[in-house]
Amino acid sequence: MNLTEQLLHALKRHGAQQIFGIPGDFALPYFRIIEESQILPLYTMSHEPGVGFAADAAARINGSLGVAAVTYGAGALNMINSVAAAFAEKSPLVVLSGGPGKGESRSGLLLHHQAKTLDSQFHIFKEITCDQVRLDDAARAPADIARVLASCLRHSEPVYIEIPRDMVAVPCAEVLPEAPFPMDPDALNACVDEILETLARAKSPVLMAGVEVRRYGLESKVAALSRRLGLPVVTSFMGRGLLTDHDAPLLGTYMGVAGFPEVTQLVESSDGLFLLGEIICDTNFAVSETKIDMRKTIQALNGQVNIGYHTYADLPLAALVDCMLARVGTQDKTFEITPQVFPRQLQADDASITPTDIATAVNDLMAEHGTMPMASDMGDCLFTAMDIAHTALVAPGYYATMGFGVPAGLGLQAATGERPLILVGDGAFQMTGWELGNCKRYGWDPIVLLFNNASWEMLRTFQPESSFNDLGDWDFASMAHGMGGDGVCVFTRAELKAALDKAIATRGRFQLIEVMIPSGVLSSTLARFVAGVKRLNSAK
């Protein structure tokens, strides 16, 4: 077998299910092998940011490797922002890039796509990946590939693999998976003792589940753990969508001043806050009503556990959860929780549409037709998602990049086979909405709710005086037909309901519903978020 085939088999054995990509001349040779070997299906897209977002979303939804394949320079550097998002939000994304052959590297000519030096790209990717390799030595390649893929899964962070174009077809030995990382069972037991004692001592312990719980495939175990320990569960903003299909005592999403007062009160008054796989970032915590003293929490993240003033190093989350589960018996505790209530039963009348109406309409739709996985962009659409009943969600809640929603939705459908719902603002749609044109070739048929307020509205709420936030009317619905889908523009609640009913009944083509939202009308969560941030800032 050749080097590319061994790499593809190794990717598959480590959990990859498909490849998203755009080729170029440095990548054509390995793309040929991807296509002809049929080891993993290849989906090509239109622009590299979309490739990265789709592969990232596939990784997030399946809790396994996502693969983004690009060409050297113009292709790979076009994907920097998507890979940075995956790094920040801990998504195990494998970047494959073509590269100059060894001979041409020594030619003395500058090569096209070269920025500063031929190594510049490698150095740039070092900043946003946890491990890297250039496969320029066939003898070393199997061990290098094994190491890089093990790093990707262990840290749940992106990795970078460069394939010089004259190496793709050289003979290569099989990639043998690395041995699991050693762990100290005594340290694990001591840590679990301490966590269980701290939780038992607390009068009102709470478990906040973060994205690592999904990244390491621990949702059902964490749900069981919270039932056994009688721990109410909340997610963070970033963790929204976690545990939805598992029997967990889930109250809702913690968003400080922007969230539901019951959840905010529970979290901020807890004397035993257990942050499990939670990224400690501003979108999760800066909006706290009362500042949470992180030194008083238990934090399990990045393969270590912090309790009070000390740290247990090298304890993977999966081992920690397994060990805790083994210690808490098999009996569930009974306790009461009051879960968040979501808006239902849209008044289908002639009133104009608010973001909360969109959430209500989606809740009605999913109650009638079953839940759909969602991909959301950044913007008020993501705050609106907090009013949608719990369902799987991928969204850039921490890194907050625009342009994620549409390509991520395509990644969801490719990875799960399920029809996704995409939430996206008009500004974000201008960035990556074109990727919808790829649905037709692959039979993808997402339902897209485009929140069109003709504005960068989130920015406007923070700085209302700036007219540069006006985007004008682009008539997005009319573009759908030429791209192989159906588009409709809705102004009233009655039209919104009719459009959703029609979209759900129409399979095989993407369904774009352009929802016109009057200027200045926000979701209730974003309105609370802005009011809260302003209140906190004025108190400083």
Please identify, using beta-carbon distances, which residue of 17 and 401 lies nearer to ligand TPW: 401
Q: Considering only residues 157, 212, 357, 380, which one is a binding residue for ligand TPW as defined by CB under 6 A?
A: 380
Please identify, using beta-carbon distances, which residue of 196 and 530 lies nearer to Mg ion: 530
378 contact, one of Mg ion, ligand TPW, none, CB 5-8 Å limit per kind? ligand TPW
Q: Name the minimum Å distance from CB 376 to Mg ion.
A: 13
Please identify, using beta-carbon distances, which residue of 153 and 428 lies nearer to ligand TPW: 428
399 binds ligand TPW (CB under 6 A): no
Please state, in angstroms and rounded to a whole number, the distance separating the CA atoms of residues 384 and 476: 21
Instruction: Say if CB 91 and CB 84 are below 8 A apart.
Output: no
Q: Name the minimum Å distance from CB 403 to ligand TPW.
A: 5
Q: Name the minimum Å distance from CB 453 to ligand TPW.
A: 5
Q: What is the CA radius of gyration of the chain?
A: 24
456 binds ligand TPW (CB under 6 A): yes
264 contact, one of ligand TPW, Mg ion, none, CB 5-8 Å limit per kind? none
316 contact, one of Mg ion, ligand TPW, none, CB 5-8 Å limit per kind? none
Please identify, using beta-carbon distances, which residue of 354 and 401 lies nearer to ligand TPW: 401
Choices 217-225, 246-254, 419-427, 439-447 (CB under 5 A): range interacting with Mg ion: 419-427
In the numeric block, which tokens belong to residue 504?
């759900």
Please identify, using beta-carbon distances, which residue of 444 and 456 lies nearer to ligand TPW: 456
Choices 204-212, 397-405, 411-419, 483-491 (CB under 6 A): range interacting with ligand TPW: 397-405
Q: Name the minimum Å distance from CB 434 to ligand TPW.
A: 15
453 binds ligand TPW (CB under 6 A): yes
In the numeric block, which tokens belong to residue 72?
């050297």
376 binds Mg ion (CB under 5 A): no
378 binds ligand TPW (CB under 6 A): yes
458 binds ligand TPW (CB under 6 A): yes
Q: Name the minimum Å distance from CB 520 to Mg ion.
A: 11
Please identify, using beta-carbon distances, which residue of 6 and 461 lies nearer to ligand TPW: 461
Instruction: Say if CB 324 and CB 197 are below 8 A apart.
Output: no
CB-count burial class (<10 Å; 0-12, 13-18, 19+) for 501: middle
Q: What are phi and psi of 516, to 5 degrees?
A: -80, 120
Question: Distance from first CA to last CA of the chain, Å, rounded?
Answer: 64
Please state, in angstroms and rounded to a whole number, the distance separating the CA atoms of residues 461 and 531: 10
Q: Name the minimum Å distance from CB 487 to Mg ion.
A: 17
Strand, helix or coil for residue 230: coil
In the numeric block, which tokens belong to residue 421?
């719902």
Biggest CA-to-CA distance, the chain: 73
Q: Which of residues 457-496 bind Mg ion (CB under 5 A)?
A: 457
379 binds ligand TPW (CB under 6 A): yes
377 binds Mg ion (CB under 5 A): no
Choices 98-106, 367-375, 456-464, 481-489 (CB under 5 A): range interacting with Mg ion: 456-464
Please identify, using beta-carbon distances, which residue of 97 and 523 lies nearer to Mg ion: 523
283 binds ligand TPW (CB under 6 A): no
Locate the DSSP E strands across 352-467: 374-376, 393-394, 421-425, 447-452
CA 376, 382, 386, 387 dihedral sign is negative
Locate the DSSP E strands across 45-114: 66-70, 93-99
Please state, in angstroms and rounded to a whole number, the distance separating the CA atoms of residues 230 and 326: 15
In the numeric block, which tokens belong to residue 114?
């070269």
Instruction: Say if CB 31 and CB 7 are below 8 A apart.
Output: no
In the numeric block, which tokens belong to residue 86?
């995956």
Please state, in angstroms and rounded to a whole number, the distance separating the CA atoms of residues 436 and 413: 12
459 binds ligand TPW (CB under 6 A): yes
447-452, strands of its sheet edge to edge: 393-394, 374-376, 421-425, 447-452, 511-516, 486-490
In the numeric block, which tokens belong to residue 365?
């739709």
Q: Name the minimum Å distance from CB 226 to ligand TPW.
A: 33
CB-count burial class (<10 Å; 0-12, 13-18, 19+) for 359: buried
Locate the DSSP E strands across 323-414: 374-376, 393-394
Please state, in angstroms and rounded to a whole number, the distance separating the CA atoms of residues 376 and 227: 30
Binding mask 321-360 for ligand TPW (x = CB under 6 A): ----------------------------------------
523 binds Mg ion (CB under 5 A): no
433 binds ligand TPW (CB under 6 A): no
Please state, in angstroms and rounded to a whole number, the distance separating the CA atoms of residues 232 and 128: 35
Q: Name the minimum Å distance from CB 118 to ligand TPW.
A: 28
- How big is the CA angle at 79 (ends 74 and 84), to the nearest 5 degrees? 140
Choices 17-25, 156-164, 357-365, 454-462 (CB under 6 A): range interacting with ligand TPW: 454-462
Binding mask 400-429 for ligand TPW (x = CB under 6 A): xxxx---------------------xxxx-
Return residues touching ligand TPW (CB under 6 A): 378-380, 400-403, 425-428, 451, 453, 455-459
Applying CB under 5 A, which residues contact Mg ion? Answer: 425-427, 453, 455, 457
